[in-house]
Structure 1
């Protein structure tokens, strides 16, 4: 049986991908507790790992994509000094594949779709679009070391002070944004959904600084009403945002990073899919979750492996075809299920 005293995981993709990589942290922590774990993530995502509460994660390294090759060269030098027993490359791109081979690790394991996979110690088949979840795909990387058992991602954000209007387990979060426009539920549908909610239901709008306008459009629609709509978009660092999701009654999200944060914190989640589909393997993993998507069969959906900046056909039927009532029914179903977190 393989034994590793020190390993490096590489996942420098988007926030949600980094969150899902915590499932590997959990597997290694539980099945090889003596192993010191390092992880390399995109700069900007590193603070999230302060919400990973276990000391097995020894260090979080960062790759600054704004400096690309200079950051890459610095990492090659610094990581070479650590002397890893193994590197597990979750990334499927050339740069991280080359880095993994350049730091002197005893073993390098990665997916066969990585352009540098020919030189890896072990290549793992990357299955896509078959319904296999990303955490299962990632677990396959360590199968020859630790076996097949799959763990859920894990984050436990530290407590922060909440303003009086924000009472634990009483508010719902809505995160209307996404890096990709074709992953965003149209704003009018979010507004229609909120109008269906009981007037007493507090709603917190969440998102990154680049999504402030989306949340503003929603909040503006309820100005002068008796509803409590708190627009917290862009106001909090990543850790504080994770805590707000963690303490919500339930959260409504697009197929985006916040969905994966909710999975890692086991927040009851309603996940909306527009141009993408759950069979890509990025569905919600919370104990209570629902997926909302258009009921119409569209020959153009999905239009790609990821979202796009705009609908290639101009009609955006995958988003426009989703009904606000479907979101409201999920809300009612959760309340009647007795699944609310204490």
Structure 2
């Protein structure tokens, strides 16, 4: 059996990908508790790992994509001095594949779709579009070391002060944004959904600074009314946002980073899929979850492996075809399930 006293995980893609990588942290923690773990993520995502509550993660490294080459060189120098037993390259990009091979680790394991996989100690088949979840795909990287058992991602954000209107486990979160426009449920549908909710249901709008306008449109639709709509979009650092999700009754999200944060915190989740599909392997993992997507069989969906900046055909039927009453039904299903956290 392989023994690794010190390993490096590399995942410098988007926020959600970094969150899902905590499933590997959990696997290593449980099945090789004496192993020291380092993880390399995109700059800006490193604070998230302050919400990983276990000390086996010794150091979180960051890759600054705004200065790719100089940051890459710095990392190559610094990581070379760590003398890792193994590096596990979770992503499939050339730069990180090359970095993994350049730091003198005893073993390098990555996916066969990485351009540098020919030189890896071990390459693992990357299955896509078959319904296999990303955490299962990632777990395959360490199968020869730790076996097949899959663990869920894990985050536990530290407590922050909240608005008096945010009573723990009583408000719901809505995250209307996504990096990709074709992953965003149209704002009018979010507004219609909120209109269906009980008037005393507190709604907290969440998102990054770049998504403020999306949340503003929802909040402005209810100005002057009796509903409590708290627009927290762009107001909190990543770790604080994770805590607000963690304390919600349930969260409504697009196929985006907040969905994966909710998975890692086991927050009841309603996930909306527009141009992408759950079979890509990035679905919600909370114990209670629902997936909402159009009921129409669209030959154009999915239109790509990721989202797009706009609908290639101009009609955006995958988003426009989703009904607010489907979201409300999920809300009612949860209230009737007895699954609410206290």
TM range (shorter): over 0.9
Listed one character per residue, the Cα deviations across residues 311-337 of structure 1 (whole Å, up to 9, x for unaligned) are 000000000000000000000000010
| Counterpart position of 1:295 | 295
| Counterpart position of 1:268 | 268
Q: Distance in 1 between matches of 2:90 and 2:337?
A: 37
Pairing 1:231–2:231 present: yes
Q: Distance in 2 between matches of 1:57 and 1:289?
A: 29
| Counterpart position of 2:181 | 181
Which deviates more, 159-168 or 136-145?
A: 159-168
| Counterpart position of 1:103 | 103
Unaligned runs of 5+ in 1: none
Listed one character per residue, the Cα deviations across residues 271-327 of structure 1 (whole Å, up to 9, x for unaligned) are 000000000000000000000000000000000000000000000000000000000
SS at match of 2:41: strand
> How much has 1:163 moved relative to structure 2?
1.3
Q: Distance in 2 between matches of 1:103 and 1:302?
A: 38
Structure-to-structure mapping, 1:277-316, within 5 angstroms: 277-316=277-316
Q: Distance in 2 between matches of 1:289 and 1:337?
A: 11
| Counterpart position of 1:205 | 205
Structure-to-structure mapping, 1:134-213, within 5 angstroms: 134-213=134-213
Q: Distance in 2 between matches of 1:225 and 1:170?
A: 20
Listed one character per residue, the Cα deviations across residues 164-216 of structure 1 (whole Å, up to 9, x for unaligned) are 11100010000000000000000000000000000000000000000000000
SS at match of 2:88: strand
Q: Distance in 2 between matches of 1:3 and 1:260?
A: 30
Q: Distance in 2 between matches of 1:5 and 1:90?
A: 19
| Counterpart position of 2:25 | 25
SS at match of 1:337: coil
Q: Moved runs in structure 1, 4+ residues, more than 6 A?
A: none
SS at match of 2:242: helix
> How much has 1:106 moved relative to structure 2?
0.1
Q: Distance in 1 between matches of 2:336 and 2:147?
A: 39
Report the count of equivalent residues.
Answer: 342
Listed one character per residue, the Cα deviations across residues 77-133 of structure 1 (whole Å, up to 9, x for unaligned) are 000000000000001000000000000000000000000000000000000000000
Unaligned runs of 5+ in 2: none
| Counterpart position of 2:113 | 113
Q: Distance in 1 between matches of 2:162 and 2:253?
A: 21
Listed one character per residue, the Cα deviations across residues 206-258 of structure 1 (whole Å, up to 9, x for unaligned) are 00000000000000000010000000000000000000000000000000000
> How much has 1:263 moved relative to structure 2?
0.0
> How much has 1:148 moved relative to structure 2?
0.0
Normalising by structure 1, we get a TM-score of: 1.00
| Counterpart position of 2:72 | 72
Q: Distance in 2 between matches of 1:215 and 1:125?
A: 40
> How much has 1:161 moved relative to structure 2?
1.0
Q: Distance in 1 between matches of 2:176 and 2:293?
A: 15
Root-mean-square deviation over aligned CA pairs: 0.2
Normalising by structure 2, we get a TM-score of: 1.00
SS at match of 2:336: helix
